[in-house]
A = this chain, B = another copy of it.
Amino acid sequence: MNLSAMLSESIQQGQTTRFYPGIRESFTELTGKLWHGRRGSNSNMANMKKIAELAGVSLGTVSHVLNGTARVREPLRKRVLEAVRVTGYQPSQLARGLRRDKTNILAMIIPDILNPFFPGVVRGAEDVAFANGYRLVLCNTDNDHGKEVMHLNALRTYLPSGLIVIPSDFSDLTAQTESYRRAGAAVVCIDRLPRNWNGDSVTINNTDGASNAASYLIGLGHRHLAVITGPLHLTNSQDRLKGFKRALRQADLELAPGYMQEATFDRAGGYAKTKVLLKMVPRPTAILACNDLIALGALMAIREEKLHCPDDISLVGFDGLDLTETTTPQLSSVYQSPYQLGAAAAQLALDRVAHKDAPVKHIVLKTELRIRDSVAAPPADMSASPPIRHRKSRSVAS
């Protein structure tokens, strides 16, 4: 029996190490007293070395079996898989990430998960991530650019494969995100875009959405339309305002001074600005609120002023959150799918990971005008022309 035959047999029995006793022992002697490792802790967790020993193969082979990076003959392959099964071994994502320069992590930076629009976005992204074996790390910025940069910098050292950002504001993120790209990570911006953004993105058609809503109101006979926008340093706010103005222009209407109010994207903002609008003369007969929380605040203000929606004033929100169904009256709103937004972003990020040099993609999702009970024709004395009759609960895709 020659050496290689012995080796071969020994491998079959999983005892390779026996054949270099001198080397092994002296190595052990050398390092035995230099042990600096941690005690206990993870030592009971299986690692690749243990699998290799159990299966009687080399480390490399185990890796190849696990990753399909090379052909491995069936018997060996089986022994490896069996060893994995028996030990319940799972590869260390840390070691793998360290070696591959990239982990199965998708980082996501959003303004605030407490804003009811964002959970859907997160869920969409998480589902796509999970389905592809990725995990989602979530960070909230509170729309604070400083916090955003902190997150951006800190997360990078985990070497995520991708990064999905809803920018806190119009600040230029090029410097930060560029370092991700250099490190080979995909970066996708969604919902709003920062200044100078030239990477992948997923947004909705804010302009058309707002335009459709305004057109619908105009179609009902409204001539005194007001708008409460979100913070105008956000691109989505800007676009919604643009759409609103476009609809007015197309109907040869003017945006009366003061009929445009800028608010924060929350109830308080909507409440305050609606109070202002309701004091105007003539009072607007319809309000487009640039998100549902603003609309909610508007509804409170309207109620508080002893006015009635939709008889005295029509109201349309934006986003189409669940809460629009539980208000009284139910809120009409420009619906967009946060889930789809998040899912598309995650998918785009993963695509980018797979094809680093594919052309940049800008996905623009559609909105859908959902008419519920908060809109009606204007009071008779306020309408310049007879209102056009519309079915209720009509949906208009933009």
Q: Are the CB atoms of A98 and B90 closer together than 8 Å? A: no
Q: Are the CB atoms of B94 and A183 closer together than 8 Å? A: no
Give bound CA distance, A126 to B184, whole Å. Answer: 27
With A135-B154, A136-B137, A327-B326: A113-B119 Cβ-Cβ less than 8 Å: yes
From B94, B112, B116, B327, contact of A103 by CB (8 A) = B94
Q: Are the CB atoms of B119 and A42 closer together than 8 Å? A: no
Copies in the complex: 2
A366 interface residue per 8 A CB criterion: no
Give bound CA distance, A157 to B299, whole Å. Answer: 49
A140, A158, A299 interface centre (most CB from chain B within 10 Å):
A158
Chain B residues, Cβ within 8 Å of A296: 326
Q: Are the CB atoms of B130 and A119 closer together than 8 Å? A: no
Q: Are the CB atoms of B101 and A42 closer together than 8 Å? A: yes
Chain B residues, Cβ within 8 Å of A116: 116, 119
Give bound CA distance, A122 to B45, whole Å. Answer: 30
From B41, B120, B127, B323, contact of A323 by CB (8 A) = B323
With A101-B41, A112-B123, A157-B92: A137-B135 Cβ-Cβ less than 8 Å: yes
A138 interface residue per 8 A CB criterion: yes
Q: Are the CB atoms of A42 and B183 closer together than 8 Å? A: yes
Q: Are the CB atoms of B122 and A138 closer together than 8 Å? A: yes
10 nearest A-B pairs in the assembled complex, by CB-CB distance? A328-B328, A94-B98, A113-B119, A93-B157, A94-B97, A138-B138, A90-B157, A93-B158, A42-B101, A94-B94
Q: Are the CB atoms of B103 and A45 closer together than 8 Å? A: no
Q: Are the CB atoms of B158 and A94 closer together than 8 Å? A: yes
A279 interface residue per 8 A CB criterion: no
A95-B98, A136-B138 given. 17 additional CB < 8 A pairs? A41-B101, A42-B159, A90-B154, A91-B157, A92-B157, A93-B158, A94-B157, A94-B158, A98-B98, A113-B113, A114-B123, A116-B119, A126-B138, A296-B326, A326-B326, A326-B327, A328-B328
A275 interface residue per 8 A CB criterion: no
A94, A105, A137, A182 interface centre (most CB from chain B within 10 Å):
A94
Q: Are the CB atoms of A42 and B135 closer together than 8 Å? A: no
A153 interface residue per 8 A CB criterion: yes
Chain B residues, Cβ within 8 Å of A105: 137, 158
A-B contact pairs, 10 of them (CB 8 A): A42-B184, A94-B103, A105-B158, A112-B123, A113-B126, A114-B123, A130-B139, A135-B139, A136-B138, A136-B139
From B101, B135, B182, B299, contact of A158 by CB (8 A) = B135
Q: Are the CB atoms of A183 and B41 closer together than 8 Å? A: yes
Chain B residues, Cβ within 8 Å of A137: 105, 135-138
A155 interface residue per 8 A CB criterion: yes
Q: Are the CB atoms of A101 and B38 closer together than 8 Å? A: yes
Q: Are the CB atoms of B184 and A41 closer together than 8 Å? A: yes
Give bound CA distance, A42 to B296, whole Å. Answer: 48
Chain B residues, Cβ within 8 Å of A138: 122, 126, 136-138
A77 interface residue per 8 A CB criterion: no
A153 (CB) vs chain B CBs: closest residue: B90
A4 interface residue per 8 A CB criterion: no
A322, chain B: closest CB distance, angstroms: 8
A44 interface residue per 8 A CB criterion: yes
Contact with B along A120-151 (1 / 0, CB 8 A): 10110011001000011111100000000000
A270, chain B: closest CB distance, angstroms: 12
A49, chain B: closest CB distance, angstroms: 15
From residue 66 to 102 of chain A, which have CB atoms closer than 8 A to chain B? 90-95, 97-98, 101
Give bound CA distance, A97 to B38, whole Å. Answer: 13
A135 (CB) vs chain B CBs: closest residue: B137
Chain B residues, Cβ within 8 Å of A362: none
